[in-house]
Amino acid sequence: DWTSDVFIDASIADLKAKIGSDKVVMGLSGGVDSSVAATLIHRAIGENLICVFVDNGLLRKNEFEEVLDSYKHMGLNVIGVDAKQKFYDALAGVTDPEAKRKAIGNAFIEVFDEESNKLEGVKWLGQGTIYPDVIESISVKGPSATIKSHHNVGGLPDFMKLSVVEPLNTLFKDEVREVGRALEIVEKIIGRHPFPGPGLGIRILGDVTADKVKTLQEVDYIFIQGLKDHGLYDQVWQAGAMLLPIQSVGVMGDERTYEKVVALRAVGSVDGMTADWIHLPYEFLGKISNEIINKVKGVNRVVYDISSKPPATIEWE
Ligand code: XMP
């Protein structure tokens, strides 16, 4: 029978044997998988694991600072890199969803390569790959897929010459969470919803700018905080907001407005392969809609996405 404690002991012994006194570099995303994988490797080899957490400017509001802080509290050896502008530059004028993913993936590779080249004597690349990623599934659009396509296209980044270590590649998401809890990782990280690697970059339909990111961060924050405050967060598998590339007419006081529309999305799912839209209470939706329109400058309309997957996907891009 699988238990997290047995898994953890075996995994740590295995990692120690495999890695010995070598150094490992690993990119952290703030998500469950990379955080659990890093903690496990850290338990095995301590300071020889060097983590890199990149601010791509497409994270949720305050996420970079808060998550970096959690990592430091967990004792991880982590380098925080502010690369916001690099990502915004790479995204300027790019509107096609797959082109955006590529731009974001390539910018990430550049930043990560630059950081790992500063480190001496690294032999391994740690990754938070989990079993469903291995069997195609959601990682088809994920960062590892991006790295692969990059790899096929041209020069191999230096960090790709490292041997890969993926301690979670036999686990499902619920098992990863169980392992994370047994490792005493804070619930704030373990219980968090999945968040796509390209982040808000694929929730801003059309081209991405720093201003649009700011707007969407505020909208998303109100929605996610609302879910938490109303005890709904844990009943939802994933939630977020999309900034639509259209404006609609509204009225404020005696003034006509012509401003942005945002869509809220909350789904239930097991693995992201299929998903049902969640019947959030009307009162809740009404309250959140009012709060968004009152507080977020430039948004005058909120809609709720009632499509399931398939045929719709969870993300809009
Ligand atoms: P879709 O939109 O395909 O999303 O129904 C399924 C799950 O995958 C996430 N997703 C991504 N994750 N890179 C990622 O790391 C991506 O490019 C990407 N696209 C979608 C999405 O958030 C959902 O959890």
Per-domain residue ranges of the chain = 4-190, 203-304
CATH of domain 4-190: 3.40.50.620
CA 187 to ligand 1 centroid distance, Å:
22
Query: Helix, strand or coil for residue 50?
Result: strand
One fold for 4-190 and 203-304:
no
CA 20 to ligand 1 centroid distance, Å:
35
Average pLDDT for 109-122? 95
List, for residues 156-179, the tens digit of each pLDDT value: 788 888 999 999 999 998 999 999
Distance of alpha carbon 83 from alpha carbon 112, whole angstroms:
10
Give the residues surrounding ligand 1 with Cβ less than 6 Å away.
101, 138, 141-143, 194, 196-198, 238, 272, 309, 313-315
End-to-end C-alpha distance for the chain, whole angstroms: 40
At residue 146, does pLDDT exceed 50? Answer: no
At residue 147, does pLDDT exceed 90? Answer: no
Q: Is 1.10.510.10 the CATH number for 203-304?
A: no
Bridge-based pairing state of the strands 255-268 and 238-252? antiparallel
For the complex shown, is ipTM > 0.95? yes
Confidence bin at 140 (pLDDT 50/70/90):
very low
User: Residue length, the chain?
Assistant: 317
Tell me, what's the pLDDT at 155? 66
Structure tokens of 83?
């690369």
Instruction: Name the burial class of residue 308, with classes exposed (0-12), middle (13-18) and buried (19+) by CB atoms within 10 angstroms of its CB.
Output: middle
**Chain centroid, CA 36 distance in Å:** 14
Which of 141, 144, 274, 309 for a ligand 1 pocket mutation test, highest count of atoms within 8 Å of Cβ? 141
- The residue contributing the CA closest to ligand 1 atom 9 is 196
Distance of alpha carbon 202 from alpha carbon 55, whole angstroms:
16
Compute the C-alpha angle 262/268/269, nearest 5°. Answer: 120
Residue whose token pair is 């005058």: 300
Contact assessment for residue 128 and residue 142, using Cβ atoms and an 8 Å cutoff: no
Give percent of the chain above pLDDT 90.
87
List, for residues 212-266, the tens digit of each pLDDT value: 999 999 999 999 999 999 999 999 999 999 999 999 999 988 999 999 999 999 9
Amino acid at 295: K
Average pLDDT for 96-108? 97
Pure H helices in the chain: 4-19, 32-45, 63-73, 84-91, 97-117, 131-134, 143-153, 173-182, 187-190, 210-229, 282-295
**CA diameter of the chain:** 72
Structure tokens of 159?
């960090």
Tell me, what's the pLDDT at 202? 98
